[in-house]
A = this chain, B = another copy of it.
Amino acid sequence: MKLYTYWRSTAAYRVRVALHLKGLPFEAESIHLVKGGGEQHGESYRALNPQGLVPALVTDSGVTINQSMAIMEYLESQYPDPPLMPSDPIEQAQTRAMAQMVVADVHPLNNLRVLQYLKKQGWEQDQVDEWYAHWIHQGFSALESMVQDRSTVFMNADYPCISDICLVAQIYNANRFDVPLTDYPTLLDINEKCLKLEAFQKAQPENQFDAVV
């Protein structure tokens, strides 16, 4: 399998964790999201993924799958062991819901292309930072209240699931923007537990071959 990735992309980060948790070998190709206006907008990458976003996974049979959630669901269906979701249907639904709360309601608002758009509208960095933090707090406060009384080690199970993966990638991003996260002790605790695992460490942005740190 081949993953089109960028070290700082939180969506690519999610898929890297999933691949490493499942112990799946993959080739990584870097798509630089900033250099020269962004390689993701180039013709060759658009031919592969018309949306011009990373990640994209090319399967062993040569088919491209875009969208991190779709890729993780695909990996889960094809390589179920170890699982990234509980088997109970309700627990599974809640796992997906928590993942979507990040994937659909936090990350898209704070994505590079959106922040670029706002700056083009004349927003100062302060205004952009406030916007960024607002959506983190909206999403994280809901997530914190949903997980604070849970008895599981991670968000939805005693092993990391897609919800945890999405959380960890988003916390990395929030830290980049210096958003204070002290109101979310349970989320921070889960993040810490995840980052002790080798799969998460291998997937961390600063440990990627294309990282500039």
A208 contacts the other chain (Cβ, under 8 Å)? no
> Whole-angstrom distance from the CB of A57 to the nearest CB of chain B?
9
Known: A51-B142, A69-B96. A127 touches B117 (CB 8 A): no
A146 contacts the other chain (Cβ, under 8 Å)? yes
| Contact assessment for A104 and B103 in the assembled complex, using a CB-CB cutoff below 8 Å | yes
| Contact assessment for A94 and B65 in the assembled complex, using a CB-CB cutoff below 8 Å | yes
Q: Which of A79-123 contact B (CB under 8 A)?
A: 89-90, 92-94, 96-97, 99-101, 103-105, 107-109, 113-114, 117, 121, 123
> Whole-angstrom distance from the CB of A107 to the nearest CB of chain B?
7
A169 contacts the other chain (Cβ, under 8 Å)? no
Known: A50-B145, A70-B96. A90 touches B103 (CB 8 A): no
Cβ-neighbour of A53 out of B73, B105, B113, B123 (below 8 A): B105
A131 contacts the other chain (Cβ, under 8 Å)? yes
Per assembly, the copies of the chain total 2
B contact residues around A53 at 8 Å (CB): 105
> Whole-angstrom distance from the CB of A128 to the nearest CB of chain B?
11
Q: Which of A115-157 contact B (CB under 8 A)?
A: 117, 121, 123, 127, 131, 134, 138-139, 141-142, 145-146
The 4 A-B residue pairs whose C-beta atoms are closest, nearest first, are A70-B97, A70-B96, A74-B93, A67-B97
Binding site for B on A (CB under 8 A): 50-53, 59, 61, 63, 65-67, 69-71, 73-74, 77-78, 89-90, 92-94, 96-97, 99-101, 103-105, 107-109, 113-114, 117, 121, 123, 127, 131, 134, 138-139, 141-142, 145-146
